[in-house]
Amino acid sequence: MAEHELTLFVDASTAGSGGKWPKLYGFKAAGDNHPQSKPLVWFGTGEYATKTSIKWDTRCWVYVAKPRRDKEPLTSYSPRELRCGQQFLVDSVKGTGEELKYEDPTHMAVINKSGKSLRTGLAGEVSVAGAPMEASPYCENPLAAGAMTTFKPVEKVILFIAQSSGEEAEIKKGVVVENALSSGVVIDAAAADRDEEDMKVHFSEKKGIWSWPEGVAWARSIGQGDDLTHFIHS
């Protein structure tokens, strides 16, 4: 298991009236997903500061849930830690089943043997500003009865900071969001590991832009309204 840490620097002026901070959102990618897979808010918090550590690791949980409307947060689900080279055969809507060896050592699979339509996806542990690690879902696939879907863990995350007091400031964790809420930054932790570089990014509220060290391969921008479903299929 590898661990990743990103340091976020934010202008002090970003704190709004009453000392409240605009909400910080995180999303995470998942490779070889179902074509209808959708991104979920991995985390959303106002509990951060001018210098904030965001930590996550490479462990994966698959989860099973009943179908629901996209704008409803995913609050009830059954997670199970799974590794590449394993498959999970789901035999009920409660998420029970058995783990078996999967033929592809670079992927993991979920097979729906419950006889009912379900949703499934990946969850991962994340900690923001020293909060306890928590495994939270970050993508969701429809899983028809008898169907199989495969996943490949990808160590890419997106960060946004709400730049208005409207809808984007109140989105809950576990809600489907298909387009970028505002301008953001895409972080490729695997590229940073390869280049042995620390991941540090900066957000300026006054300019409304993100920045990072010049010339690095592990960061790039994403624009407001960009398709996040393309990102989670990275």
Owning domain of residue 10: 3-232
Across residues 223-232, what is the average pLDDT?
85
Helix (H) or strand (E) run with residue 190 in it: helix 189-195
Better-scored residue on pLDDT, 164 or 224: 224
Across residues 52-67, what is the average pLDDT?
92
Q: Residue 19 — pLDDT band, cuts 50, 70, 90?
A: low
Task: Report how many domains make up the chain.
Answer: 1
CA distance 97 to 116: 14
Question: Does position 5 have pLDDT exceeding 90, yes or no?
Answer: yes
Task: Dump pLDDT digits (tens) for 25-36.
Answer: 999 998 766 678
CA distance 169 to 220: 23
Q: Residue 194 — pLDDT band, cuts 50, 70, 90?
A: confident
CA distance 120 to 135: 15
Quick one: tokens of 132? 């306890």
Task: Dump pLDDT digits (tens) for 36-47.
Answer: 888 999 999 988
